[in-house]
Amino acid sequence: MDASLSRALVRLTQEGDLSSLQSLIHSLGEESVIDQHFGRSGDTLLHYAARHGHLHVLQYLHELGVPLEVCNNDYKRPLHEAACMERLDCVRFLLLRGARVDSLKKADWTPLMMSCTRRTLPVIQELLAHGADVSLKNKDGWSSFHIACREGSAAAVRLLLQHEESAWTSESKTGRTPLHTAALHGREDVVELLLDRCAYRPDQADSCGVTPFMDALRNGHLSVARRLLEKHKACPTAVDRLGARPVHQVAVTGQNDALEFLVKELRVDVNERATALQLSALHYAAKEGHSSTIRTLEELGADLHAQDAKGRTALHMASIGQHAEAVSVLLELGLNNCPDSSGTTPQQLAIKPAVIQAFQSRH
Question: Distance between CA atoms of 150 and 155, rounded to whole angstroms?
Answer: 13
CB neighbours of 293 closer than 8 A, spacing ≥ 6? 251, 254, 255, 256, 259, 285
* Band (275; pLDDT cuts 50, 70, 90): confident
Q: Determine the pLDDT at residue 193.
A: 98
Q: What confidence tens digit (pLDDT) does each residue in 134-146 have?
A: 999 999 999 999 9
Cα distances from 33 to residues 62, 67, 100, in angstroms, run 11, 11, 22
Q: Determine the pLDDT at residue 52.
A: 98
Q: Would residue 114 count as lying in a domain? A: no
Mean pLDDT of 199-227: 97
Cα distances from 177 to residues 162, 168, 277, 315, in angstroms, run 18, 8, 30, 38
Mean pLDDT of 95-111: 97
Q: Would residue 16 count as lying in a domain? A: no
Mean pLDDT of 245-257: 98
Q: Determine the pLDDT at residue 315.
A: 98
Q: Would residue 326 count as lying in a domain? A: yes
Q: Would residue 163 count as lying in a domain? A: no
Is 70 exceeded by the pLDDT of residue 232?
yes
Mean pLDDT of 6-31: 95
CB-side neighbour CA atoms (13 Å) of 172 = 20
* Band (119; pLDDT cuts 50, 70, 90): confident
Q: Determine the pLDDT at residue 9.
A: 96
Q: What confidence tens digit (pLDDT) does each residue in 285-312 have?
A: 999 999 999 999 999 999 999 999 999 9
Domain that holds residue 265: 243-363
CB neighbours of 60 closer than 8 A, spacing ≥ 6? 18, 21, 22
Q: Would residue 341 count as lying in a domain? A: yes
Q: Determine the pLDDT at residue 363.
A: 62
Q: What confidence tens digit (pLDDT) does each residue in 32-65 have?
A: 888 899 999 999 999 999 999 999 999 999 999 9
SS (H, E, C) the chain: CCHHHHHHHHHHHHHCCHHHHHHHHHHHCCHHHHCCCECCCCECHHHHHHHHCCHHHHHHHHHHCCCCCCCCCCCCCHHHHHHHCCCHHHHHHHHHCCCCCCCCCHHHCCHHHHHCCCCCHHHHHHHHHCCCCCCCECCCCCEHHHHHHHHCCHHHHHHHHHHCCCHHHCCCCCCCCHHHHHHHCCCHHHHHHHHHHCCCCCCCCCCCCCCHHHHHHHCCCHHHHHHHHHHHCCCCCCCCCCCCCHHHHHHHHCCHHHHHHHHHHCCCCCCCCECCCCECHHHHHHHHCCHHHHHHHHHCCCCCCCCCCCCCCHHHHHHHCCCHHHHHHHHHCCCCCCCCCCCCCCHHHCCCHHHHHHHHCCC
Mean confidence (pLDDT) of the chain = 96
Q: Is the pTM of this model over 0.85?
A: yes
- The total domain count for the chain is 1
CB neighbours of 168 closer than 8 A, spacing ≥ 6? 145, 161, 177, 178, 179, 194, 197, 198, 199, 200
Q: Would residue 337 count as lying in a domain? A: yes
Q: What is the CATH number of the domain that holds 332?
A: 1.25.40.20
Q: Would residue 98 count as lying in a domain? A: no
Q: Determine the pLDDT at residue 276.
A: 78
- Percent of the chain at pLDDT > 70 equals 100
Q: Would residue 119 count as lying in a domain? A: no
